[in-house]
Structure 1
Amino acid sequence: MAVGDVSMPQMHVVKGVKIGSAEAYVRYQNRRDLVIFEFAEGSNVAGVFTQNAFCAAPVHISKAHLKVGNPRYLVINTGNANAGTGPTGMANAEATCEKLASLAGVSAAEVLPFSTGVIGEQLPIERLVEGLQPALDSLEEDAWLDAATGIMTTDTTPKGASEQFVLDGITYTMTGISKGAGMIRPNMATMLGYVATDAPISRELVQQLLSEAVNVSFNRITVDGDTSTNDSCIFVATGHSGGQEISATTDPRYTAVADVLTRVMKRLAQLIIRDGEGATKFITVAVEGGANTQECCDVAYSIAHSPLVKTAIFASDPNWGRILAAIGYAGVPNLNVENIQVWLGDVQICKDGGAAADYTEEAGATEMQKTEITIRVDLGRGDAKDTVYTCDLSYDYVKINADYRS
């Protein structure tokens, strides 16, 4: 059961984007498991991908195709990751691109493939290919919800975000979807994200905008500390609502678009945490007072990854010594523990490296019982800060992952 408000908003249509889906029986019956995005000619496409050295076949091919030019189609299957599948997996991913390209009348290099699901099993390529034409036949502008549903694996709910904004008197749209619930610690969970806008943005800036937004959204979440073989995030600017192209970071519209993209992608990233496998609590780990942002991030992730911290939060046990231990082994050089301050919500639990004088176990337990918890740490070393989002670790996480292939 997801934590907090995970409802789908109104998913505004992005001009120049069409979406189709089909039931291809890649792994499961009677559910959408194949999704196609079609982008209008002239759209600019950017991507970021997993840094896992064992990345999946579709990741290799998508990265190669993006280097060639601007893709016109994305094809996404769920139920099978096509990772750890060797030369056959590469051939299957290439065959998917070639078949869709043939049906759509484009080159294979204009197709990006994506897969998510079980690692180490070969794609049922015949069933996948048979689903391409039905997916193409269903292409329409207003199908974001179908796409969000069609890319789910262990997700319990579809994930979407959408905003409209005005630049120079023109109304534009930014809409996106994501999927992921386990194997989440993107390093660019099994995580996929697709965001599109009809604002006119140059290809170079589309990539820059995506990289900057990913760094404060999908690169700041963790469910279990596992970086997937398939993590991918795509950002598309079709330019189909008109206006002069944004081609310089000094253009005031660049900052406006960056703000919208960051909000949309943070929402999509946080939805993954709210729907983390077995999650009962949504946790914000905010670290300030660092000498630089990297050490703030290191401390935040150290806390967010700690199974002892996460299980204590699941049990509503204010065992704050586990938080101090995680801070201590985060690898911050020359850390003076006497400068450390820690809060649970508004309750200070640690002052100057020891128990706060007015802290009570009852106050800590009250904070731990909330479904949304903030752990705030002040390192007392400088002005840098960073934030990571995570969830608790429950019995259900083990059950879900023990049964995943059954």
Structure 2
Amino acid sequence: MKVIEGGVTAPKGFQAAGIFAGIKKDKKDMAMVYSEVPCVVAGTFTTNVVKAAPVKWDQHVVYEVGKASAIVANSGIANACTGEEGYGYCRETAAKTAELLHVSEDQILVASTGVIGRQLPMDKIKGGVEKMIPLLSDAKAAGTLAAESIMTTDTIKKETAIEFTLGGKTVTIGAMSKGSGMIHPNMCTMLAFIMTDVAISRELLQKALSSVVKDTYNMISVDGDTSTNDTALLLANGLAGNPEITEENEDYETFVKALYQVNETLAKTMAGDGEGATALFECKVIHAKSKEEAVILSKSVITSNLTKAAIFGHDANWGRILCALGYSGVQFDPEKVDLYFESAAGKLKIIENGVDTGYSEEEATKILSEKAVTAIADMKMGEASATAWGCDLTYDYVKINADYRS
């Protein structure tokens, strides 16, 4: 497998566009991704009881229609808590897009991110659709523009692509996402759009996405808030010409492995770009009794505000990590736990069998001062492991969210 430059336009047959439509004051705010032929589609969505109108629309397309030709996304306004009017605007957006692309409106997916409670300015949305369609391109730059156009408080665009071989054919997965705040396991204020030219059945496409999401997007957290708009969409148009994957064979396993790599990259990028963050904070739990317990333990650490604050301060306050493991709900012997800190600056054992090792505070601070920091907790209970990703908690997180609407 080879990581290549690009994003959603990297696979064969996909085009994209990104523009300023006037929804936001002065930043690009609408994106479109289009496939030259209809795709089979899979999706996963927020677990929040309060679901935005575009989530409901996309669930209809994914679960009942099963085919999609394009995605239209806007940033700035979430179209959440907008009632029947908001759902109607999803239909209007889809209808306008379908009319101009000459496809069925129930093959148009829509997505929104931004402030909750406001209605979409449909004159700007429809105008944006009209403006984007002539700009659709399979160029790498077009994919980048689309990735930039779905950003809200994100500080960097998030896109990636990977190339590999199936059945003697070169195939590609390309993706983009957004997410910086309101990020918490069980999907987050995140949008992820993944495109592939692989030929695969709809049923296995959904199974692959659902399995990968558990270990990628559902293992990140920035602030403990689960959004109303979380959406991950996976479209496959089959233009690579590989033998269609219709059973869980070697080709399917290769596809899942590649899909995992793409989504892990996006998930880690979102966690590291958490609002106000200065560092990606990773927690690896090893030698746990079960995968389920490893997941619970690792998430407990990266969601601990006290631990996140310590990471921001480059403070090896390991008691906060042991405490977070302890209130996770998993039973373990704290007097058997080893804990390490690791980064590009080195690796250091902080506690052994639950007791301080007498480590160098200076060395620990050096390790914790890197842009990516990992805590490794060895539970010494079994062979299971899990990794969760978060970020440090900074002054700027409060500043950003204190005036988010202004």
TM-score (norm 1): 0.93
Instruction: Give the secondary-structure state (helix, strand or coil) at the position aligned to 2:275.
Output: coil
Instruction: Give the secondary-structure state (helix, strand or coil) at the position aligned to 1:41.
Output: strand
Shift of 1:59: 0.1
Aligned to 1:354: 355
Query: What per-residue deviation string (whole Å, max 9, x for no partner) do you get for residues 283-333 of structure 1?
Result: 110001211112111111111111111111101111111111111111113
Shift of 1:167: 2.5
Query: What per-residue deviation string (whole Å, max 9, x for no partner) do you get for residues 69-112 of structure 1?
Result: 30112110110001122222122222212222223222221111
Shift of 1:218: 1.1
Worse-superposed segment, 39-48 or 238-247: 39-48
Distance in structure 1 (CA, Å) of the matches to 2:288 and 2:297: 9
Aligned to 1:3: none
Distance in structure 2 (CA, Å) of the matches to 1:270 and 1:127: 33
AA aligned to 1:194 is F
Distance in structure 2 (CA, Å) of the matches to 1:52 and 1:337: 34
Q: Does 1:392 align with 2:392?
A: yes
Aligned to 1:79: 76
Answer yes or no: is the 8 Å Cα contact 1:186–1:231 preserved in 2: no
Query: Structure 2 stretches of 5 or more lacking a match?
Result: none
Aligned to 1:48: 44
Report sequence identity in percent: 39
Mapping 1:283-302, distance limit 5 Å: 283-302=281-300
Answer yes or no: is the 8 Å Cα contact 2:182–2:225 preserved in 1: yes
Answer yes or no: is the 8 Å Cα contact 1:21–1:134 preserved in 2: no
Distance in structure 2 (CA, Å) of the matches to 1:246 and 1:116: 33
Instruction: Give the secondary-structure state (helix, strand or coil) at the position aligned to 1:343.
Output: strand
AA aligned to 1:283 is F
AA aligned to 1:352 is N
- CA shift in 2, pair 1:10/1:106, >3 Å: closer
Instruction: Give the secondary-structure state (helix, strand or coil) at the position aligned to 2:67.
Output: coil
Shift of 1:22: 3.0
Mapping 1:261-276, distance limit 5 Å: 261-276=259-274
The one of 20, 25, 48 aligned to 1:23? 20
- CA shift in 2, pair 1:57/1:186, >3 Å: farther
Answer yes or no: is the 8 Å Cα contact 1:301–1:388 preserved in 2: yes
Shift of 1:20: 2.5
Shift of 1:42: 4.0
Distance in structure 2 (CA, Å) of the matches to 1:118 and 1:308: 28
Aligned to 2:167: 168
Query: What per-residue deviation string (whole Å, max 9, x for no partner) do you get for residues 46-86 of structure 1?
Result: 11111111111100111012222301121101100011222
Mapping 1:137-286, distance limit 5 Å: 137-142=134-139, 143-250=142-249, 252-286=250-284
AA aligned to 1:9 is E
AA aligned to 2:121 is P
TM-score (norm 2): 0.93
Aligned to 1:365: 365
Query: What per-residue deviation string (whole Å, max 9, x for no partner) do you get for residues 202-244 of structure 1?
Result: 1111111111221221111111121111111111111112132
Shift of 1:401: 1.1
The one of 86, 89, 101 aligned to 1:89? 86
Query: What per-residue deviation string (whole Å, max 9, x for no partner) do you get for residues 266-286 of structure 1?
Result: 111111122111111111100
Query: What per-residue deviation string (whole Å, max 9, x for no partner) do you get for residues 143-183 of structure 1?
Result: 21111111111111111111221223321221111111111
Query: What per-residue deviation string (whole Å, max 9, x for no partner) do you get for residues 345-385 of structure 1?
Result: 222222222222x4233333232222221101122222111
Instruction: Give the secondary-structure state (helix, strand or coil) at the position aligned to 1:359.
Output: coil
- CA shift in 2, pair 1:225/1:126, >3 Å: same
Q: Does 1:38 align with 2:34?
A: yes
Instruction: Give the secondary-structure state (helix, strand or coil) at the position aligned to 1:302.
Output: helix
Shift of 1:188: 4.6
Instruction: Give the secondary-structure state (helix, strand or coil) at the position aligned to 1:40.
Output: strand
AA aligned to 1:311 is A
Q: Does 1:128 align with 2:125?
A: yes
Aligned to 2:336: 339
Distance in structure 1 (CA, Å) of the matches to 2:170 and 2:301: 42
Answer yes or no: is the 8 Å Cα contact 1:28–1:79 preserved in 2: no
Query: Structure 1 stretches of 5 or more lacking a match?
Result: 1-7
Distance in structure 2 (CA, Å) of the matches to 1:405 and 1:325: 35
Equivalenced residues, count? 396
Distance in structure 1 (CA, Å) of the matches to 2:39 and 2:84: 32
Answer yes or no: is the 8 Å Cα contact 2:46–2:188 preserved in 1: no
AA aligned to 2:163 is Q
Distance in structure 2 (CA, Å) of the matches to 1:281 and 1:57: 33
User: Structure 1 segments of 4 or more deviating over 4 A?
Assistant: none
Answer yes or no: is the 8 Å Cα contact 2:82–2:118 preserved in 1: yes
Aligned to 1:110: 107
Answer yes or no: is the 8 Å Cα contact 2:312–2:392 preserved in 1: yes
